[in-house]
């Protein structure tokens, strides 16, 4: 090989090596960024768990005790002060409402059922809690799932929670279906609603501008797990799909 060609070949080889090193470094940085991002969410979930427990065991227990004392007071007064009865009844009703609100807030912060019984049970609970009061029929199709690591269960639960909150707030739908499937090393969550649809590009733009946090937050959270979020909307409804590779399995996302 002539000297000039040899020089060129060796320069090219050096450049290729530098490029490989750069790509490896970028990949390592991205992995580190994802690891840190997941850790932030783990801390946030832990804090929500603590707050949920405190609400339930602290404020919740105090309200229960207050309700009990009021009932006791009412029965001690008996028929001696009928004029106080309406006030006592109103106070008892306030306690009951306060207790119900505290329990609901505690569960929405971090439902105990997710830690105790797992994702399927937590999704069933979410569907009942969000769907029933709003008259929205939410169907959950998540059986049977292999055992998934807690972080992934939390991820799916939070995505379903935000997607269903969007259905309730914006879709004008009468039914929704949440499906979770695991196949070929990929976990796939789909949330479909039968609303009239919306302008996805405009909504994503709104989220990019920082005018909303739901869709952008879901996208970011999925990306931290190396996954992807897709949104399709039209006259047949809206379909949100999150696909995430299961760690340690060979699931590959299509480009
Ligand atoms: N299932 C849906 N059906 C109809 N419109 C939707 C649906 N999901 C999202 N949207 C539209 O996309 C917009 C952005 O959603 P996003 O969740 O980011 O924000 P948001 O729900 O308005 O506020 P938040 O930050 O509290 O979630 C919504 O304002 C709504 O117009
Ligand atoms: Mg939202």
CATH number at residue 199: 3.30.565.10
Residues 123 and 158 in one domain: yes
Kindly report, residue by residue over 44-61, the tens digit of the pLDDT.
Answer: 999 999 999 999 999 999
CA of 19 to the centre of ligand 1 (A): 41
What pLDDT does residue 250 have?
A: 64
Question: What is the number of the ligand 1 atom nearest to the C-alpha of 207?
Answer: 18
**Probe residue for ligand 1, chosen from 166, 232, 234 as the CB with the greatest number of ligand atoms within 8 Å:** 166
Residues 79 and 202 in one domain: no
Task: Please tell me what DSSP assigns to residue 169.
Answer: I
What pLDDT does residue 203 have?
A: 92
What whole-number distance in Å separates Cα of residue 25 and Cα of residue 17?
Answer: 12
Ligand nearest to the Cα of 210, by number: 1
Q: How many residues does the chain have?
A: 255
Bridge partners for 141 per DSSP = 179
Residues 75 and 95 in one domain: yes
Residues 129 and 248 in one domain: yes
Pocket of ligand 1 (CB under 6 A): 166-167, 169-171, 193, 195, 198, 203, 206-207, 212-215, 238
Select from 64, 91, 110 the last residue of a domain: 110
Residues 164 and 67 in one domain: no
CB-CB contact of 111 with 125 (8 Å): yes
What pLDDT does residue 255 have?
A: 62
Residues 184 and 255 in one domain: yes
Task: Give me the domain span that covers residue 255.
Answer: 118-255
Residues 151 and 229 in one domain: yes
Q: Read off the pLDDT of each residue in 180-187 and give the average, rounded to a whole number.
A: 94
Ligand nearest to the Cα of 212, by number: 1
Task: Please write down the HEC assignment for all residues of 23-64.
Answer: HHHHHHHHHHHHHHHHHHHHHHHHHHHHHHHHHHHHHHHHHH
Count of domains forming the chain: 2
Residues 2 and 57 in one domain: yes
Residue with token string 């590779």: 245
């Amino acid at each position: 090989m002539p000297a000039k060609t040899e020089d060129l070949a060796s320069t090219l080889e050096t450049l290729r090596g530098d490029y490989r090193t750069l790509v490896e470094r970028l990949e390592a940085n991205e992995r580190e960024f994802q690891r840190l991002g997941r850790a932030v969410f783990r801390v946030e979930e832990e804090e929500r768990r603590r707050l949920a427990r405190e609400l339930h065991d602290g404020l919740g227990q105090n309200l229960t005790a207050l309700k009990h004392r009021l009932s006791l007071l009412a029965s001690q007064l008996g028929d001696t002060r009928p004029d106080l009865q309406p006030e006592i009844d109103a106070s008892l009703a306030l306690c009951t409402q306060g207790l119900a609100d505290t329990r609901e807030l505690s569960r929405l912060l971090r439902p105990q059922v997710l830690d105790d019984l797992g994702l399927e049970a937590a999704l069933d609970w979410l569907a009942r809690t969000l769907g029933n009061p709003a008259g929205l029929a939410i169907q959950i199709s998540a059986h049977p799932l292999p055992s998934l690591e807690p972080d992934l269960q939390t991820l799916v639960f939070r995505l379903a929670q935000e997607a269903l909150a969007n259905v309730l707030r914006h879709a004008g739908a009468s039914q929704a279906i949440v499906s979770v499937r695991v196949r070929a090393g990929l976990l796939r969550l789909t949330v479909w609603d039968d609303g009239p649809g919306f302008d996805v590009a405009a909504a994503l733009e709104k989220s990019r501008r920082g005018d909303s946090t739901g869709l952008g937050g879901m996208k970011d959270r999925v990306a931290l797990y190396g996954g992807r979020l897709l949104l399709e909307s039209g006259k047949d409804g809206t379909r949100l799909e999150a696909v995430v590779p299961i760690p340690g399995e060979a699931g590959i996302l299509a480009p």
